[in-house]
Amino acid sequence: MGETLNPKKSNLKDSDVAVVAMAIRRASHMTTSLSLAPELQVLTWYNTDRPLSLAALRDRVVVLVAFQVLCPQSIACGVPQAQRIFDTFEPSDVAVIGLHATFEHHDAFSPSVLRAFIHEYRLKFPIALDQPNDRGPIPHTMECYKMRGTPSLVLIDKLGLVRKHAFGPCDDLRIGAEIGALTQESARSSKPARVSAA
Amino acid sequence: MGETLNPKKSNLKDSDVAVVAMAIRRASHMTTSLSLAPELQVLTWYNTDRPLSLAALRDRVVVLVAFQVLCPQSIACGVPQAQRIFDTFEPSDVAVIGLHATFEHHDAFSPSVLRAFIHEYRLKFPIALDQPNDRGPIPHTMECYKMRGTPSLVLIDKLGLVRKHAFGPCDDLRIGAEIGALTQESARSSKPARVSAA
Amino acid sequence: MGETLNPKKSNLKDSDVAVVAMAIRRASHMTTSLSLAPELQVLTWYNTDRPLSLAALRDRVVVLVAFQVLCPQSIACGVPQAQRIFDTFEPSDVAVIGLHATFEHHDAFSPSVLRAFIHEYRLKFPIALDQPNDRGPIPHTMECYKMRGTPSLVLIDKLGLVRKHAFGPCDDLRIGAEIGALTQESARSSKPARVSAA
Amino acid sequence: MGETLNPKKSNLKDSDVAVVAMAIRRASHMTTSLSLAPELQVLTWYNTDRPLSLAALRDRVVVLVAFQVLCPQSIACGVPQAQRIFDTFEPSDVAVIGLHATFEHHDAFSPSVLRAFIHEYRLKFPIALDQPNDRGPIPHTMECYKMRGTPSLVLIDKLGLVRKHAFGPCDDLRIGAEIGALTQESARSSKPARVSAA
């Protein structure tokens, strides 16, 4: 239930080379390796008028919270924390995105379950239903991010780099500190914040 | 979210008259009126080898907890409390029965959802899926008990009489006291316990 | 931090013999041995007009909660639970008594500390300051009850017998059940309740 | 129990003028006015080999948490949060200082009470006993900071400026974000972080 390493392999387009060069310099500060956050692959969006893309959120910190309706830790910790983050930060600084990563109980789940859940829990932040995968039970975005399960929390900086990737419950104080630090980075600066949480 | 009155109208068979005569004597102690707990009407049972009936549990206290998988208060309060009651009392003294009373989000719910939920939350007490109702969204047992919503908790004494009927979160200390008091009543005695919780 | 056995040695006056004869019969139901609850030895009473005595409370269940102002578990668990018990039960059924059993930090403690504490935490139940002991750090009532530390909770039945003696945090549901069961016993009956909490 | 405005009046020495010039530029970002955090006036220090001074902590973020042993909100919220902050951040980034601001129950309090409290609650961060005030019940540091009561939390940036001053319980996520943002400011830069918590 601890935190995971960042994905070892980056997923780069040609145009991302300059960004990754910066990532390499940042790497010693934050994680053992950095990679550009893969774009979300989404079947359906909720709580948003139009599909979101990470590319279009490049100047904000993005908090991606993967969950499942039938996962107790997601319901007890992950989803309420995502809502608290959404309520605490300015949307222009921090974008919170829920990702329903259906990787088990496929027979029980349907988009109707997610829709009813969002309604009953009065969730207000944008939520994506991860794209199902013909090749197996793990949906596309979850696979791409190499998530270990739900809940998972990914912090993406203003440059689109993955700066934290945690599996299981996260501490509010520490996550707050990490998000707060990332908001202070420039969207262009080559000098990364050092997230000071021990 | 407060507690409800007991059902005003009793549901009696001829053979229950003697019991109800006792209920009338008990009424001033516990509630404004007493009635025999209606039998459960169940589509499917989980966590039990064979169907349960209240009639067969007449010498035990029965704690009936109605819930829905997509009801936040059920998940946060009702279901964990049912499991705690199950873990605290001897099964030969107190029978805990969960009742999934699906009265909303019919499009999202299926027995598979309940099965996955029971598995993921590691629930060990018997759970009944309330019998759907052709005439409307309220399933049969829920209708029969005139429940106001979920979670609802019903305490049934050793004689089969409804002694408490609460809607919304219940306090552990008070519920413990009420169950503890009911366990001390004789299954035959005409002298009811006065549940002392204020 | 678990529960303790009941005191092995009873503290009896001649007039208590008949009661203890009953205690012996009850012993197999509740604990390995029963004893009459020793009378409280008190330096000062708070939240009561006159000193209380267990002898005068013989027809009620008594919940005795030992605590210390400078004991974290007392403040986090013991004292709030005592207040909840006081708020939940009718005083005519259940008497809650706090006992400040000062057995450590004697240099820091004074009755003024206790008085300020009671005021700030808005405690309403009667509280006794345990009689200091010239022979050592353990005050008289605490020594007499052989308490292992604070918080400790003692349940005394309507006959004045110790029915439970626990050290450390207690579960609300279980304590509620045990108190509820004891309230159903007759103050004269020789048939004890079997506290059904497992 | 809400947050307070920053002190309206600054307490400046001549040498602080340059810093305050910067404060004026920062004012529009963070608070309606900024002032240099007054130096602590301390009777006794605990959990530190030598007295601390804010002047000597100029390159770190300082979290000052005022509390009282006999204040329920301090014990339930303020003190545990201070310990969590101390456990979460690197001491070289964030200095946590407890301040026992004894402004009531003077008859009950003594340094022995504080010493026993620190021992029992296993607090590890440096704690100052606020200097008593001959002119009244409010001790010197508390008066100087115009604190409204306990618990109070003051965030001081790397330049020594008060950036937040809150009375009552504080949310972990928000405080984490604010501290995290302040850690990213340069100890020399004239460009302040904008604490993004809404």
Domain architecture of chain C: domains with CATH = 33-171 (3.40.30.10)
Distance (Å, rounded) from C-alpha C150 to C-alpha C68? 7
Distance (Å, rounded) from C-alpha B76 to C-alpha A120? 13
pLDDT tens-digit map of B148-174: 999 999 999 999 999 999 999 999 999
Residues whose CB falls within 8 Å of the CB of residue B1, separated by 6 or more in sequence, listed in order:
B73, B167, B168, B169
Q: Are strands C127-130 and D42-46 parallel, antiparallel or unpaired?
A: unpaired
CB atoms C107 and D112 under 8 Å: yes
Q: What are phi and psi of D116, to 5 degrees?
A: -65, -40
Q: What are phi and psi of A65, to 5 degrees?
A: -120, 110
pLDDT tens-digit map of D170-192: 999 999 999 999 999 988 755 55
The per-residue pLDDT for D187 is 85
Mean pLDDT of chain B: 85
| Chains contacting chain A through 3 or more C-beta pairs under 8 A | B, D
Contacts of B177 in chain C (CB under 8 A): 88-89, 176-177, 179-180, 183
Cα–Cα distances in angstroms (integers) from residue A104 to residues A69, A132, A141, C34, in the given order = 11, 11, 15, 54
Distance (Å, rounded) from C-alpha C45 to C-alpha A59? 65
For residues D1 and D170, the answer to whether their CB atoms sit within 8 Å is no
Q: Is the pLDDT of residue D23 over 90?
A: no
Contacts of B184 in chain C (CB under 8 A): 180-181, 184-185, 193
- Any idea of the CA torsion for C50, C53, C59, C60, to the nearest 10 degrees? 80
Distance (Å, rounded) from C-alpha D177 to C-alpha A196? 11
Q: Tell me the CB-side half-sphere exposure of residue C83, using CA atoms within 13 A.
A: 12
Cα–Cα distances in angstroms (integers) from residue A18 to residues A13, A190, D191, in the given order = 11, 11, 26
Give the distance from residue D4's alpha carbon to the nearest chain C alpha carbon, in angstroms: 23
CB atoms A70 and B108 under 8 Å: no
Q: At what angle do helices C172-183 and B79-88 cross, to 10 degrees?
A: 60
Kindly indicate the confidence band of residue C34, based on its pLDDT and cuts at 50, 70 and 90: confident
Q: Is the pLDDT of residue D26 over 50?
A: no
CB atoms B177 and C174 under 8 Å: no
pLDDT by residue, tens only, chain A of 198 residues: 333 323 333 344 444 444 444 444 443 344 446 899 999 999 999 999 999 999 999 999 999 999 999 999 999 999 999 999 999 999 999 999 999 999 999 999 999 999 999 999 999 999 999 999 999 999 999 999 999 999 999 999 999 999 999 999 999 999 999 999 999 998 875 555 555 444
CB atoms B108 and A108 under 8 Å: no
For residues A174 and A155, the answer to whether their CB atoms sit within 8 Å is no
Of B81, B94, B196, the CB nearest to C183: B196
Q: At what angle do helices C172-183 and C79-88 cross, to 10 degrees?
A: 40
Contacts of B117 in chain A (CB under 8 A): 70, 108
